[in-house]
Structure 1
Amino acid sequence: MTESGTGTSEKNAIYVFAVCRAEEVPDVQGLTGVTRAEPVRSLRIGSLTAIVQTVRGADFTDEVWQKRLTDEAELERYARAHHEVVSAVAARFPTVPLPLATLYNGDERAARALASESTRFRTALTRIAHHAEWGIKVYAPVSRSAGDDTSEEQPAAAADRARPAPGAGRAYLERKRNLQSQREERQAASLRVADVVDADVSRIATESRRLRPHGNGAVGDGRVQVLNATYLVAGQRAAELDLLVAGLRERTGAHIEVSGPWVPYSFVGEV
């Protein structure tokens, strides 16, 4: 969507946070945006409204922005400022958030470029109106069977090396096969739980996206993530979602985390 990416170097540029469908002029007073130098404001685009802010073009050149991407604290500050504006507008109107650092060289060019995508905006706004995004993560506990603990097996193994008993090697291989079989069964059971949760939540969601689970080391407490998904849920079904998740926790015994409601970033398409 960006006319010149973050490569603008003119004195001023127009930073676009979002496009919304509002019957009235959105009240954006009090929002700081990404700079304190200029106010966040509205820019009318036909029947749609863009939420914008004038910024210094020199602050968003490719060179400056690439440097900013390597500064985690600075990047987080911009992301939070961007999200604050989007969330404030989305709390009142159907809103399509635009990517971080979407810039145009002036109001006229911004309006022209955004107007050229008005059909896509209207489609997305119709899809997400009166909906919110909810994230659901499912974790399966890493259960260790008695055979997984090799602390007692090591002395025995040393003794076996000194005085190998008949059939000791065969018994060892059999134990290893059993342990592997148990691990595979637990993994299969965990994936079945993930499928059950996803299928049940999808029934009350308008749309859903199943994402790649985070690696085992990401949680840090021994749990393994088996489902990482996001769902577009109508506002009037939020309570139903709460009840459904409570029932799934009881039924499956899995640890289920729910986050939201969020602005439906995942369901506005490529804008």
Structure 2
Amino acid sequence: MTGPDDTTATYVFAVCRRLDPAALSALSGLPGLAEGAPVRGLAFGPLTAVVQQVPAAEFTEEAWQQRLTDRQDLERCARAHHEVVTAAAACGPTVPLALATLYRGDDRAREALTEDAERFAAALDRVEGHAEWGIKVYLPATAPELSGVGAGAAATASPVGGGSGSGAGRAYLERKRGLHQARERHHDRTMRTAEDVDAELTRVAAASRRLRPHSQEVTGEKHRLQVLNAAYLVAAEREGELADAVEGLRIRTGAQLEVSGPWVPYSFAGEV
């Protein structure tokens, strides 16, 4: 094994209990950063880290900040990291580590990981036999009764430029009040739907985590609103229940539920 020096560092992808070296043999690891360095296991006590030697100069704080500004380079690293984690997870429960987790050589990596061995073991116990499922819930961005209502429609009720004085003014104010109430009802419905879906799926899951919903600017969706963005840790034997619950919620709420997974449980193994 390569020892600590000024030119190389030990990059850690994940920690696991069982690792088949054959599962890693075809992996190249980090693109362009670890030419010829194999992805391999590094034992520490009863656990094993999945590691690769990389050029230290490519992971200085300055170099990494530069990589963060290069979206394509960052995506290549993230995909390679995920590919290695997924291969390790095929061998058994796996705790993924954050992108760019590295140490000055194997000895320092082993020392630091050993300090957290108990927490790694607890995380591995938590995720064993489970997978992460992502659920995104969407509703129309506008209440149905407001569809097609815009400034032109509102102007027809405006007291300016005609009408019978106070009668036209009352009609205008009532219409404005009605539009406001419709928006409030739609907002309440989106909140109730998010809570109902999360409560139902949480009953199936061993653990759940709600993430910040993506804005319409991020999703690029003009006509629908993301009201829930959540991850659920689900035991393999309950995945059928999850699918049934999702279908029932689609029918009952009228919302669009998008399901992704199964994934390595990134959202539930990151407490170490």
- Pair in the same fold by TM > 0.5: yes
Which residue type is aligned with residue 177 of structure 1?
R
Which residue type is aligned with residue 90 of structure 2?
A
C-alpha distance in 2 between matches for 1:143 and 1:156: 20
Partner of 2:61: 62
Equivalent pair of 2:137/2:229 in contact (CA under 8 Å): yes
Which residue type is aligned with residue 120 of structure 1?
R
C-alpha distance in 2 between matches for 1:156 and 1:13: 70
Superposed displacement of residue 164, structure 1: 4.2
Runs of 4 or more consecutive aligned structure 1 residues displaced over 4 Å after TM superposition = 23-26
Describe the SS at the equivalent of 1:138: strand
How many pairs were matched up?
A: 262
Partner of 1:192: 192
Most deviating of 212-221 and 121-130: 212-221
Superposed displacement of residue 259, structure 1: 0.8
Deviations 1:39-90 (A, max 9, x none): 1011111100010001111111111111111000000000110010001111
Partner of 1:4: none
* Superposition map of 1:1-80 within 5 A: 10-22=6-18, 27-34=23-30, 35-80=34-79
C-alpha distance in 2 between matches for 1:223 and 1:73: 29
Gaps of 5+ in 1: 1-7
* Superposition map of 1:137-176 within 5 A: 137-141=136-140, 142-145=142-145, 148-154=149-155, 157=158, 160-167=159-166, 168-176=168-176
Most deviating of 219-228 and 73-82: 219-228
Superposed displacement of residue 140, structure 1: 1.1
Q: Compute the RMSD of aligned alpha carbons.
A: 1.9
Describe the SS at the equivalent of 1:127: helix
C-alpha distance in 2 between matches for 1:268 and 1:50: 14
Superposed displacement of residue 162, structure 1: 3.2
Superposed displacement of residue 153, structure 1: 4.2
Superposed displacement of residue 23, structure 1: 6.8
Which residue type is aligned with residue 151 of structure 1?
G
Equivalent pair of 2:19/2:41 in contact (CA under 8 Å): no
Which residue type is aligned with residue 59 of structure 1?
E
Which residue type is aligned with residue 128 of structure 1?
V
Equivalent pair of 2:19/2:88 in contact (CA under 8 Å): no
Which residue type is aligned with residue 132 of structure 2?
E
Which residue type is aligned with residue 202 of structure 1?
T
C-alpha distance in 1 between matches for 2:153 and 2:98: 56
Superposed displacement of residue 125, structure 1: 0.2
Equivalent pair of 1:9/1:61 in contact (CA under 8 Å): no
C-alpha distance in 2 between matches for 1:38 and 1:233: 35
Equivalent pair of 2:20/2:91 in contact (CA under 8 Å): no
Cα distance change of structure 1 residues 113 and 27 upon mapping to structure 2, 3 Å threshold: same
Describe the SS at the equivalent of 2:28: coil
C-alpha distance in 2 between matches for 1:132 and 1:162: 63
Most deviating of 112-121 and 15-24: 15-24
C-alpha distance in 1 between matches for 2:174 and 2:51: 67
Q: TM-score, normalised by structure 2?
A: 0.90
C-alpha distance in 2 between matches for 1:11 and 1:128: 36
Most deviating of 98-107 and 207-216: 207-216
Partner of 1:263: 264
* Superposition map of 1:77-92 within 5 A: 77-92=76-91
Equivalent pair of 1:9/1:58 in contact (CA under 8 Å): no
Equivalent pair of 2:95/2:270 in contact (CA under 8 Å): no
Cα distance change of structure 1 residues 233 and 26 upon mapping to structure 2, 3 Å threshold: farther
Which residue type is aligned with residue 40 of structure 2?
R
Superposed displacement of residue 236, structure 1: 1.3
Describe the SS at the equivalent of 2:160: helix
Gaps of 5+ in 2: none
C-alpha distance in 2 between matches for 1:25 and 1:45: 16
Equivalent pair of 1:26/1:89 in contact (CA under 8 Å): no
C-alpha distance in 2 between matches for 1:9 and 1:18: 22
Q: TM-score, normalised by structure 1?
A: 0.91
Equivalent pair of 2:233/2:265 in contact (CA under 8 Å): yes
Superposed displacement of residue 250, structure 1: 0.9
Deviations 1:100-127 (A, max 9, x none): 1111111111111111110000000000
Deviations 1:204-241 (A, max 9, x none): 10000112212233332311111111100001111221
Partner of 1:253: 254
